[in-house]
A = this chain, B = another copy of it.
Amino acid sequence: MQPTRLSRDHRRQQILECALPLFARHGFAGTTTRRIADAAGISEALLFKHFPTKSAIYAAILADICSADPGLERLRAEPPSTRTLALIVRGMAHYFMTAADGSEAEGNQKLRLTLGSFVEDGEFAKILFDKVEQIIAPIFIDSLKHAIEVGDAQPGLAGPRDLFWFAHHTVCTLAATQLPSLPSLDYPPLARLEREVCNYILRGVGLTDAAIAAHAALDIPFESFESSVLEFAK
């Protein structure tokens, strides 16, 4: 049969794209180079002409995925406000829930790799979290501080930065329970669950019930975190 001849960069990229779902689903040890080669439609030999070791493929995937979070950076320009805070929480919840839902989604595989990273050395999770802390956390923190000044929120025991991560943690495991084909926990339908967990988080963060109610109008259907941000940016 005729082999499809690709340029070096294209082939490399194709290998990574084919390997990602395998590593995400079966972990590092559970993924063989033979299966990666099969998925990419090439021989193992060619695989090892592009990457010196199996570990190198894994590392390249983790590096790639860390530097690809489009749409989030748009939020950085938004003014700190209670509304922005509610929007971030809502967007975060939606992002994680859709990640768990669509088995082919990019977020799904990112979540799987993150959970796997916890069990291993945690390095991937650390890199990813560093990036999140730089990009999203500041807006959250400023918005929460603003909400406290305005009287929409009451200061709590934990600082805004820790509260941001607590919010993240809540939706992270929540999404994880819905990740397997057979969810580990029964929950109400996604749309309702999303609103429930937002309510919990906003309360936990210190927002008053009045402030939460005032921003319940945000409960418009979002297509994705990015699109919600775009919508708000109008």
Contact = CB atoms under 8 A, between A and B. Distances in A.
A163 interface: yes
A224 interface: no
Given A29-B29, A118-B115, A185-B129, A169 B162 contact: no
B173 A168 contact: yes
Interface string A85-128: 00000000000000000000000000010011111111101100
A46 interface: no
A206 interface: yes
Interface of A is mostly: helix
B125 A119 contact: no
Given A156-B203, A166-B174, A177-B129, A184 B112 contact: no
A138 interface: no
A35 interface: no
Interface residues of A, number: 58
Contacts of A193: 162
B129 A184 contact: yes
A26 B118 CA distance: 11
Interface of A: 24-30, 112, 115-123, 125-126, 129, 154, 156-158, 162-163, 165-166, 168-174, 176-177, 179-185, 187-188, 193, 195-197, 199-201, 203-206, 209
